[in-house]
Structure 1
């Protein structure tokens, strides 16, 4: 007979925090039963109210820190506890990097069963603030007033924010100006419940190295009231803006962008660079939000690829071709594959933009294209993979091991699925030599990494 959980919903308990969850929660134990507690840190003793009880774990609300972590600090943002954007502002940045390091080590040991892999210290930022080049701001009305900011943690209630410490000051000031214009011109705000109103979100994208700025109004319909007044005032107040666009999304959905973009003024794209490579960025383009750390990440991938100019490289899940193009100057030929049609078109255009001719991009699922290439006898010296959070499909991994590249460079945004896939590769002829974590999102629980696998002879 299975034992009942030792806690009940609403119960107040005290427990020690022994671990760090992937979503930034502290992991405690009560009579051996796991409890996940937001805001708690490893090593702390806390008082908790149990909010949810499942068969194998519970969740709790932090009521009081009884014994604090020595590196616990006061969050700089007044919205830290209500906004879902950051999870780790309450610990020093040096200690945050150690927690992320531990997260990578734990996943590789628990899921991948690795005990002797070299895991380098996380590469962090010199200044872990104001790093985002993209921000998506939901608009709403609250008691008759326009509010704009971010969703409250676990809800679709908009938190009205004056500033955000991980986006830059220019984006903050532009958001304030747009909010004032919306109030002044009485532009109707979209209501999720009634599906009425016009303005849903404002998307801001910035070329950090080119100093170009794009403003996108996401609307529930084609017409924006006082459109020309909005454009005129934004141009007057922020001459740095080079593109003003409208994205039309009339669907009842949580997906922010619709399919149709309409250029209101300026250029259809902005540009930015990673190293020497220039990229054209549209409202829909996938482009890393932290350009400083993206260069760190790609340099690590290039180092692990160890290219001499004679290699054939396959870049799976290539997106807009950013890694493909970054490696092309050191490779004989690069083949990229991607499932999103718009991303493949962006990749091809970016290759033309940079006058890079030794790259080829193909549209389709990686788990279908690579087996096809393998059956056709394609050879690759280096395979680069940068999959979504769910990791690689088994069919893809199977084809990868049959092609037998000398090196596999795995870029991951999820240590858990990386560990799972690393275990598969290690059981099919590859040795995980080392892992380099990179902090792409300071103040959050997310950590990315680059792993190097070599073919065992």
Structure 2
């Protein structure tokens, strides 16, 4: 018997979930759908059997809706909320944090307004593009279509710096002229897998990293000559070799093809060395806002010993160095650790000690030696900290903990351990990633249990 197709429904969007998708009710059940904004009235097709809803059209536009700048916004997975006016993006991010804290920690906390940008476009200092070949073997580059391994081809990303957009477009053009193809993981043929461009906006230095599937680079000299002729702003070029079948972009082996192999950036009056593999915040303007917010909340004094955990290239510790007696900086990634040491030397800072170690192991050993610090500033990866690290904090008993997180979900999970002995004083969202559903948070905690 032929299935009778149910008519579409008209629904009102009442809120959002953590992915930035709009939510609505139908038959008393909650549903989610992408590319809608709160207070939109939308015509949707609901598949009750598969629990899926599909947007047909917007019947009445929300006052919070705007036309996305990017023509491929609905296809690309890079942005999720570019269709929201920016003030509403900030409100959405504050709300997500508020709901997460209430749901996970079983308490209503006051969340400060999310700190936004004057211009929430072209803010990224790092551009990372995947390269591929279309069915006609034309070289393409861009991001993956959300939820797939299919490359969507484009030359202009509205989050990336304009210079990096142009460099990636030039690389595609040079590959065509030199008859070079993108790397094919299945066949193990072709050359370039990814291109990463890192920029120093303040000092106008540019690093280009060409990630190849093999060390053999046909026409390398001609490639470099053509690239540098069209982009004299490039100060260094690196070939990174990654032959593995992996989702990781960078491999372990590198060859410096041009320049010194790194760039330097000025952030908050300090100079920082950035290598190809070092973590460095991608939004320099908001990074200064983030770090100054964290230090203001920490309210450091000249007698304090500060532990800077997951320290990267030493940015936070160096920012804090003039405010405290000494800083202990811990970073696992070797190249970032070496950059951090160099950064302290370049800035003539002598009260920071750098340790190349796993943060969890380092803090556990501190606790076993019964060593103390006054303040811990921690900025772990998106996956959050570890239970052992958090327990070690409870053992060394710092008076204050400042937790900087790029993932509020792992943040609230980690805070469940710390609130045994610590009180949450301040929760400050910072918009490091406009047009996306990501939000950074700074949380100040003070010790309350003796």
Class of the TM-score when normalised by the shorter of the 2 chains = over 0.9
Between the two proteins, the alignment pairs up a number of residues equal to 444
1:106-132 CA distances to partner (integer Å, 9 max, x unpaired)?
1111112221x3321111000101101
Q: Is residue 193 of structure 2 the alignment partner of residue 193 of structure 1?
A: no
Q: 1:31 to 1:241 in 2, by over 3 A?
A: same
- Answer whether contact 2:174 2:227 (CA < 8 A) is retained: no
Unpaired stretches in structure 1, ≥5 consecutive residues: 1-8
Matches within 5 A, 1:73-88: 73-88=66-81
User: Cα offset for 1:50?
Assistant: 5.0
Is contact 1:113–1:423 with CA below 8 Å preserved after alignment? no
Does residue 19 in structure 1 map to residue 15 in structure 2?
Answer: yes
DSSP 3-state at the match of 2:413: helix
Match of 1:264 in 2: 257
- Of the structure 1 ranges 416-425 and 206-215, higher mean CA displacement relative to structure 2 is found in 416-425
Deviation at 1:148, TM superposition (A): 1.5
How does 1:225-244 map onto structure 2 within 5 Å? 225-244=218-237
The one-character-per-residue Cα deviations of 1:356-402 (angstroms, maximum 9, x if unpaired) are 22112223332322122012111111111111222222222222122
Q: Which moved more, 1:432-441 or 1:312-321?
A: 312-321
Deviation at 1:66, TM superposition (A): 3.4
One of 131, 144, 149 as aligned partner of 2:137: 144
Number of the residue aligned with 1:96: 89
Return the alpha-carbon distance in structure 1 between the equivalents of residues 267 and 39 of structure 2: 39
Quote the Cα distance in structure 1 between the aligned partners of 2:405 and 2:9: 37
Q: Distance in 1 between matches of 2:334 and 2:28?
A: 49
1:152 CA drift (Å): 1.4
Match of 1:442 in 2: 434
3-state SS of paired residue (2:404): strand
| Structure 2: gaps (5+ residues) | none
In the alignment, the residues of structure 2 paired with residue 114 and residue 346 of structure 1 have an alpha-carbon distance, to the nearest angstrom, of 41
Work out the CA distance in 2 between the residues paired with 1:193 and 1:405. Answer: 52
> What's the counterpart of residue 378 of structure 2?
385
Say whether the 8 Å CA contact 1:187–1:224 is kept in structure 2: no
**Greater shift after overlay, 193-202 or 255-264?**
193-202
Determine if contact 1:304/1:452 at 8 Å carries over to the other structure: yes
> RMSD value over aligned CA atoms?
2.0
Aligned to 1:6: none
TM-score (normalizing by structure 1): 0.92
Match of 2:27 in 1: 31
2:215 maps to: 222
Partner of 1:4: none
String of CA shifts for 1:267-308, please: whole Å, max 9, x gaps.
111011221221111111111110000000000111011112
Tell me, in whole angstroms, the C-alpha distance in 2 between the residues paired with 1:233 and 1:109: 56
> Would you say the 8 A contact 1:118–1:433 is kept in 2?
no
Match of 1:396 among 384, 389, 394: 389
Distance 1:60 1:375 in 2: 54
Gap change, CA 1:112 and 1:53, over 3 Å in 2: farther
Question: SS where residue 271 of structure 2 aligns?
Answer: strand
The 5 Å alignment of 1:428-439 reads 428-439=420-431
2:331 equivalent among 328, 334, 338? 338
In structure 2, the CA distance between the partners of 1:111 and 1:53, relative to structure 1 (3 Å rule), is: farther
Greater Cα offset, 370-379 or 441-450: 370-379
Matching of residue 126 in structure 1 with residue 122 in structure 2: no
In the alignment, what sits opposite 2:243?
Answer: 250
For residue 441 of structure 1, report the CA deviation from its aligned partner.
0.5
Instruction: Say if 2:13 and 2:36, in contact at 8 Å, map to a contact too.
Output: yes
1:168 aligned partner = 161
Any idea what the Cα deviations from partners look like across 1:40-84, whole Å, max 9, x if unmatched? Answer: 223333333457978xxx443322223432121111110101111
Counterpart of 1:118 in 2: which secondary structure?
Answer: coil
Which of residues 319, 323, 331 is equivalent to 2:312? Answer: 319
Residue 327 of structure 1 deviates from its aligned partner by 0.9
